[in-house]
Amino acid sequence: MKIARQVTFVCGITVAAILPSISGAQSAKPTMKAIVVHEYGGPEVLKYEDAPRPEPKEDQILVRVIAAGVNPVDDASRSPRAAKFFGITLPFIPGYDIAGVVEKTGAKITKFKAGDPVYAYLDLKDGGGYAEYAVATEVEAAAKPKSISFTEAAGVPVVALTAWQALIDKAKLSAGQTVLIHGGSGGVGSFAIQIAKARGAKVIATASTANQNLLKQLGADVAVDYTKQKFEDVAKDVDVVLDSVGKDTLARSYGVVKKGGVIVTLVARIDQAELDKHGIRGTSLAVEPDSNELTEIGKLIEEKKIKVIVSKTFPLADAVKAQEQIATGHTRGKIVLKVAEEPK
């Protein structure tokens, strides 16, 4: 205040009037709209508010987020158990899938420059996708496929990487093999069917009655309505099972795999005794960010071998509704939060 009065004396009233805003601009950190979780609980703890805009570290890019994908893990991250498991601390911004435009790069970034369209799977500990700006490393991000919108691209990373790492990295699925994909109409399943077909495999996929046509559109050779038919009556001696359902579905899956075959589950511990009993292999998977794999997936999208099914979008401010939908366990394809207008 003392300084302000002195300056007023020297320079007059105009300078004095703008002083507060100048000093304010110097100290104020840039903010952004975001969904912030301050306490654990149901979807109602998701608050749409102003939050500090992140600054990229030297190994990070700052992304202006156009769209953010919604996944079952986003819903889980609001529980203390999951937060502890992932290393999340309150308060935090949820969301692991983003598509947007690089705004700024850290000193060590070589792969990206400002203006590049990217999509990314953000580390589970850091999240930050439900916001106007998010930071990502070069391992987490890849060039966004040009042939799809940012909204579609935001629905890709987590689920496509999961399907890829389950079928290609873990199960080593090859042409001519048969794979049973549970939950074929959901986020992971819709990509898994298409990745398996692109590999030249035969696909048997399960979903409820309303999603039988979708399974066929995605390329499944055999569609099984789990509400009307036991999958084990149709799928016998398969090479690979991808399980995203667990419980009874996983328990009944060991018996449909041929000797030497493999089960990959996303949602449970594998039962070694069951594996031994059937002479098969099996593993649980925790998806990891992988820029190279995201690039490979992007190529399949550009070649039109993978299409992205976005069944519903919500504005960022409606994240509560989006998480209520994903928590049903019956989402068709992907749901996506629209954060900003699609760039022209």
Ligand X SMILES: NC(=O)c1ccc[n+]([C@@H]2O[C@H](COP(=O)([O-])OP(=O)(O)OC[C@H]3O[C@@H](n4cnc5c(N)ncnc54)[C@H](OP(=O)(O)O)[C@@H]3O)[C@@H](O)[C@H]2O)c1
> Which residues contact ligand X (rule: CB under 6 A)?
71-73, 158-159, 162, 182-183, 185-189, 206-208, 211, 226, 244-245, 249, 266-267, 285-287, 326, 329-331
137 versus 253: smaller Cβ distance to ligand X: 253
203 versus 266: smaller Cβ distance to ligand X: 266
149 versus 331: smaller Cβ distance to ligand X: 331
> In Å, how far are 40, 124, 267 from 80, measured between CA atoms?
6, 14, 18
**Residue that has been written with the tokens 């509560």 in this structure:** 320
CB atoms within 10 A of CB 123: 17
Least separation in angstroms between residue 251's CB and ligand X is 12
Distance CA 142, CA 318 (A): 27
6 versus 283: smaller Cβ distance to ligand X: 283
Q: Fill in the amino acid letter for 77.
A: S
Least separation in angstroms between residue 27's CB and ligand X is 42
Least separation in angstroms between residue 194's CB and ligand X is 13
128 versus 183: smaller Cβ distance to ligand X: 183
Least separation in angstroms between residue 325's CB and ligand X is 9
Distance CA 132, CA 63 (A): 8
Least separation in angstroms between residue 316's CB and ligand X is 20
The strand pairing partners of 242, in sequence order, are 181, 264
105 versus 212: smaller Cβ distance to ligand X: 212
What is the token pair recorded at 313?
Answer: 């979008």
Cis, peptide link before residue 52, omega less than 30° from 0: no
Task: Point out the residue whose Cβ comes nearest to ligand X.
Answer: 186
Nearest-CA neighbor of 95 among 339, 292, 295, 307?
A: 339
Least separation in angstroms between residue 281's CB and ligand X is 17
74 versus 132: smaller Cβ distance to ligand X: 74
Least separation in angstroms between residue 219's CB and ligand X is 16
Distance CA 344, CA 329 (A): 34
Q: Which positions ≥6 away from 255 have C-beta within 8 Å?
A: 232, 278
105 versus 244: smaller Cβ distance to ligand X: 244
161 versus 201: smaller Cβ distance to ligand X: 161
Least separation in angstroms between residue 70's CB and ligand X is 9
Least separation in angstroms between residue 210's CB and ligand X is 6
